[in-house]
């Protein structure tokens, strides 16, 4: 799985061996090097010993079978969660980038775990690979990847971008950059760096409040980066990339779902290439979800104001796989 390690092991082999190995891993989706019959037996044995392909994982399936949560045990026994969401012909994988998270957003179960460590690029890719193997048995494949699982991707920037490149590689899983989204709580240095990358992934910003005061209550990181500074950075990002930015807004009952807040949000969002994704809150022990009537009222107000708005479908609440519910500490 570790491409650098694989390169090192195959360094004394003809160059085409690495290409064959990548095809075996990412296209044939083998789970054991013995399946790579193009390789001589002694090389397969060496690879099985030094670069094994097994991933230690446990699967939980939601009642409607559209959401699957996978608990992955890493080599150092730390655990992370990955979610597969099925929606019509889309198979979207929500990947984690850190074990836990340091940012302590008030509405998020992962934040309560604290940060244990960053994931390596290979550990991020392994999550998509595992699901690709699972889908292959149903003759399906991963269509989209969202970096919205455990952790803040832009605080593990290099591994996140390395993983994006491996996922996008035409000799690998070949997932289009436009099918890959990175979601951030608003890490300004990371957004600035991303604007200069030669790979055009989608950017999503966790906004969740239309003013600094409430945002700081919900997301402590907002004390470091004000909305003014954040919007200035996003406008520069759009100027450079000419790409849409999605603002995620999780609707919490009587916290951020009031008409006055919809009005403030509309004022902030009235810009080209801005769009809003409303996310029904998934209950944790802190807050309650907005009623469907409040969600509809909020959404309709934004629509009337000419804002591009979508409402995210709820996924996997019964297996704690929905937004804000991922935690390996039970």
Active-site residues, by number, are: 81, 323
Work out how close the CB of 277 gets to ligand SF4 at its nearest, in angstroms, rounded to a whole number: 14
Q: What are the counts of helices (DSSP H) followed by strands (DSSP E) for the chain?
A: 10, 12
Work out how close the CB of 101 gets to ligand SF4 at its nearest, in angstroms, rounded to a whole number: 3
- Closer to ligand SF4 at the Cβ: 111 or 280? 111
Work out how close the CB of 52 gets to ligand SF4 at its nearest, in angstroms, rounded to a whole number: 29
Closest CA to 223 of 182, 188, 266: 188
Strands 115-118 and 98-100: antiparallel
- Closer to ligand SF4 at the Cβ: 114 or 259? 114
As given in the structure block, the two tokens for residue 40 are 């001589």
- One DSSP character per residue, 177-234 reads GGGEEEEES--HHHHHHHHT-SS--EEEEE---SSHHHHHHH-GGGGTS-HHHHHHHH
- Closer to ligand SF4 at the Cβ: 108 or 129? 108
Work out how close the CB of 93 gets to ligand SF4 at its nearest, in angstroms, rounded to a whole number: 16
As a whole number of angstroms, the distance between CA 65 and CA 36 comes to 32
Angle formed at CA 147 by CA 141 and CA 152, multiple of 5 degrees: 160
- The answer to whether residues 44 and 287 touch, using CB atoms and an 8 Å cutoff, is no
Work out how close the CB of 69 gets to ligand SF4 at its nearest, in angstroms, rounded to a whole number: 15
- Closer to ligand SF4 at the Cβ: 33 or 147? 147
- Closer to ligand SF4 at the Cβ: 108 or 194? 108
What is the largest distance, in Å, between two alpha-carbon atoms of the chain?
69
Distances in Å between the alpha carbon of 64 and those of 140, 146, 298, 319? 18, 21, 28, 11
Binding site for ligand SF4 (CB under 6 A): 101, 103-105, 108, 110-111, 150-152, 185
The dihedral sign for the CA sequence 111, 117, 121, 125: negative
Question: Residue 1: which residues within 8 A CB-CB, separation 6 or more?
Answer: 25, 51, 53, 55, 122, 125, 126, 129
Residues in the chain, overall count = 330
Work out how close the CB of 48 gets to ligand SF4 at its nearest, in angstroms, rounded to a whole number: 35
As given in the structure block, the two tokens for residue 106 are 């008030």
């Amino acid at each position: 799985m570790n491409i650098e390690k694989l390169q090192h092991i195959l360094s004394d082999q003809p160059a085409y061996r690495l290409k064959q190995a990548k095809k075996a891993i990412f296209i044939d989706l083998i789970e054991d090097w013995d399946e790579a019959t193009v390789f001589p037996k002694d090389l397969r044995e060496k690879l099985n010993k030094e670069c094994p392909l097994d991933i230690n994982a446990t699967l939980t399936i939601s009642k409607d079978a559209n959401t699957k949560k996978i608990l992955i045990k890493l080599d150092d026994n730390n655990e992370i969660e990955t979610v597969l969401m099925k929606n019509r012909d889309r198979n979207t994988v929500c990947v984690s980038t850190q074990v836990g998270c340091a940012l302590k957003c008030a509405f998020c179960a992962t934040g309560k775990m604290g940060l244990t460590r960053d994931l390596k690029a290979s550990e991020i890719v392994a999550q998509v690979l595992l699901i690709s193997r699972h889908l292959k048995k149903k003759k399906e494949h991963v269509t989209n990847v969202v970096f919205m699982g455990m952790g803040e991707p832009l605080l593990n920037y290099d591994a996140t971008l390395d993983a994006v490149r491996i996922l996008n590689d035409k000799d690998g899983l070949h997932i289009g950059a436009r099918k890959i989204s990175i979601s951030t709580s608003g890490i300004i240095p990371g957004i600035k760096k991303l604007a200069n990358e030669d790979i055009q992934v989608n950017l999503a910003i966790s906004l969740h409040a239309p003013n600094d005061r409430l945002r700081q209550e919900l997301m402590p990181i907002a004390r470091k980066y004000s909305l003014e500074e954040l919007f200035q950075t996003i406008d520069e990002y759009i100027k450079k990339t000419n790409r849409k930015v999605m603002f995620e807004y999780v609707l919490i009952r009587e916290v951020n779902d009031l008409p006055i807040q919809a009005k403030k949000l509309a004022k902030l969002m009235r810009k080209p290439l801005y769009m809003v994704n409303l996310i029904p809150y998934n209950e944790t022990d802190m807050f309650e979800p907005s009623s469907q009537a409040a969600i509809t009222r909020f959404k309709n107000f934004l629509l009337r104001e000419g804002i591009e708005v979508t409402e995210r479908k709820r996924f996997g609440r019964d297996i704690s796989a929905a937004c804000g519910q991922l935690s390996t500490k039970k």
